[in-house]
Amino acid sequence: MRKKLIWGLALALALTGCGGGPAVAPRVTTAPAEPKSQVAFFFDTVVTMNIYTDDETLLSDAQAECQRYEDLLSKTVEGSDVWNLNHAGGKRIQVSPETREILEKALEYSALSEGAFDITIGACVDLWDFTGEGMGRLPDETALAQAAEKVGWAQIDMDEEGVLLPAGVTIDLGAIAKGYITDRIADFMRQRGVESGFLNFGGNVLAIGGKPDGTDWNIGIQDPRGLQQQAVVGAVPVRDQAVVTSGIYERGFDLDGVRYHHILDTATGWPVQNELAGVSIIAPDAFDADTLSTAVFAMGLEKGTAFIESLDGIEAIFVTREDEVTWTSGLEGRFQPT
C-alpha cells in the first residue's frame, strides 16, 4: 500500500515534470502517506480510528469527544441523559438535543420494524447482563417475563418540555448510540479537514471519503459465526458510507447447544432465535446502519430482506446459521463473496 502510493506519486511527478505540453496544474494530494491510528475503549467496545491527517491533536480531541458522548448516553454513567431518564420515576425531564435526535430515530425504526427494534428493552438487557457477571448464566424466567411486560416504545412520550418515560420502563441505546456517535466523530474530523480515513466503533465501520489514492475502501464483511478471528464472508467497496454488522457472536454464550446472544426478542426478552447468524447493513451513515442492523436481525431473513429492498440507498448482506450468504439487489456486482 505504501509502496503503491509512493509509486503513484513518483509517476505523477514524472508526468508533470515532462515539459512541452500545455501547462496543467499537477494534482497535489495533501494527505500524508501514512494514517494516524488510535485504538481506545469506549461504549463497552473497542474503538479504532485510522485517519490520514497532519493534525497532531485530532485523534486525542476525537477521544475527548467520545468521552463526552459516553457521559451523555451511557446507561451506567450516573447523571447521563439515559441514566436520568431511567431514574426519573415517571417525571418528564429535559434531555440534550443529541439524546432527543437518537430517541426520535429509535421511535421511527420501532414503528417501521413493528416493534422488533425497541429501546425500552432495557430491563431485559439488564437481566442478561452480557457485559458483566451475568455472562454464561440464564436469567430468572419470571423476572425476565415481567421485564418483557414493560417493553413498549409507544410509552416514550416526547414534547417540547422534555421526555417522559413511565416509572419502571428502562431504555438502552446499545443498538443505536454507537452509530450516531460514529457519524458525529466523522463530522468532527471532516470539519478539521480530514478527507480520507475510516472509523471502526465496535463493528460500526464508517469510511470517510475514499482512500488517499482515490480508490474506494474495500470493507471486509466479518463472518458473524465467529468461527475464525478476522474471517470474512466477502468484501464491499465503499466511500463515504457505513458498514455495520450485528450478529449472534458479538456478545453471548453457548449453553446446552443453544446460542444465547444479545439481540433480544422484544415480546419475550429471550435472544432472537431465527435463521440468521448476522446481518451487515451498508448505508450513507452509521446512525441508520446501526439501528437497521439490529432491527433487521430481529425481523429475520425474509422480512428483513423485503424491508431493506423497500428502502432507498440502503443494502444488506445476510449470513445464516447454515452458512448461506445472501445480499440485496443493489449489491449485485458490487459485493464480492469470498
* Footprint on this chain of Mg ion (rule: CB under 5 A): 175, 290, 293-294
Amino acid at 24: V
A 10 A CB-CB count for 136 gives 12
Q: Which grid cell sits at 272?
A: 432472537
- Which residues pair with residue 316 across a beta bridge? 281
To ligand ADP, the closest distance from the beta carbon of 279 in angstroms equals: 9
Assess 224 for contact with ligand ADP (CB under 6 A): no
- Residues with Cβ within 8 Å of residue 271, at least 6 apart in sequence: 248, 252, 259, 260, 261, 262, 263, 264, 265
Assess 169 for contact with ligand ADP (CB under 6 A): no
Report the partner that residue 113 touches, choosing among ligand ADP, Mg ion, none (CB closer than 5 to 8 A by kind). Answer: none
Assess 184 for contact with ligand ADP (CB under 6 A): no
Nearest to 129 by CA among 225, 24, 264: 264
Assess 294 for contact with ligand ADP (CB under 6 A): yes
Assess 286 for contact with ligand ADP (CB under 6 A): no
Assess 119 for contact with ligand ADP (CB under 6 A): yes
Beta strand 258-261 with 276-283 is unpaired
Segment interacting with ligand ADP (CB under 6 A) among 90-98, 173-181, 229-237, 306-314: 173-181
- Contact predicate 227/259, CB 8 Å: no
Nearest to 103 by CA among 123, 119, 79, 127: 119
Assess 80 for contact with ligand ADP (CB under 6 A): no
A 10 A CB-CB count for 255 gives 11
Beta strand 315-320 with 92-93 is unpaired
Determine phi and psi for 165, rounding to 5 degrees.
-120, 125
Assess 261 for contact with ligand ADP (CB under 6 A): no
Assess 307 for contact with ligand ADP (CB under 6 A): no
Report the partner that residue 177 touches, choosing among Mg ion, ligand ADP, none (CB closer than 5 to 8 A by kind). Answer: none
Interface of this chain with ligand ADP, residues 319 to 338, rule: CB under 6 A: none
Assess 269 for contact with ligand ADP (CB under 6 A): no
Question: Of residues 223, 250, 288, 315, which one binds ligand ADP by CB under 6 A?
Answer: 250
Smaller CB distance to ligand ADP: residue 117 or 198? 117
Q: Interface residues with ligand ADP (CB under 6 A)?
A: 117-119, 121, 125, 172, 174-175, 178, 202-203, 246, 250, 262-264, 266, 290, 293-294, 298
